[in-house]
Amino acid sequence: MKKLSTLLASLVLPGVGHILRGRITVGVAFFAGVIVLLNLLAYVVFRPAPDGPEQQAAVLVCGLSALWLGCQAHLAYLLYGVNPAKYARQKEDIFHEGLRHYVRDELADAIRRFEDVLRFESFDYDAYFYLGLCHRSAGRHKSAVRCFKKCVEFDDDQKWAAEVAQELAKARAARKAKAKPE
């Protein structure tokens, strides 16, 4: 029932279903695309012009229909085509593999695995935190700072707030020490 209500919400406002499923960027993109096309359609139809706007309006209606149907098809695929339990298990396995590499100080492999986790879910703050630790340990302080900032951005519960503050201070101090001539 929850899947059906998500699909119905997206029928009324395209992109809302994606947002409800945690795909915020995709949802906002679909919603913005529909709004832009509707505004262009209104402009073409209601502007005072000597020649008829029928052809331009038809093109915009086709584009709007294609975007709307694409949104629904993508959401249906997300809701019914992807096994969420298998998806979560794969992501968790990759994350734990990254942790094993990090503990063994195999930073290149750990970075690769945490980046794989972020391909699964681009707002995984745990992956950003450990990716930041890996970058800091590898001496890539600018990348570490970027990852720690992303971690804080997505960490609504502030699970890593204190640790990130400490790590940011360490990374910034190391970057300043590296930039300072001796």
Q: Give me the residue label for tokens 């505004």.
A: 39
The confidence score (pLDDT) of residue 52 equals 63
In the predicted model, residues of the chain with pLDDT beneath 50 are none
Q: Give the C-alpha separation, 64 to 58, whole Å.
A: 10
Q: pTM of this prediction?
A: 0.57
Q: What pLDDT score does 172 carry?
A: 78
Taking the C-alpha atoms of residue 50 and residue 43, their distance in angstroms, rounded to an integer, is 14
The pLDDT of residue 139: 87
Any idea where the domains of the chain sit in the sequence? 2-81, 84-179
The letter for the amino acid at 151 is C
Tell me the C-alpha distance between 79 and 2, whole Å.
10
C-beta separation of 64 from 38 below 8 A: yes
For 84-179, CATH number? 1.25.40.10
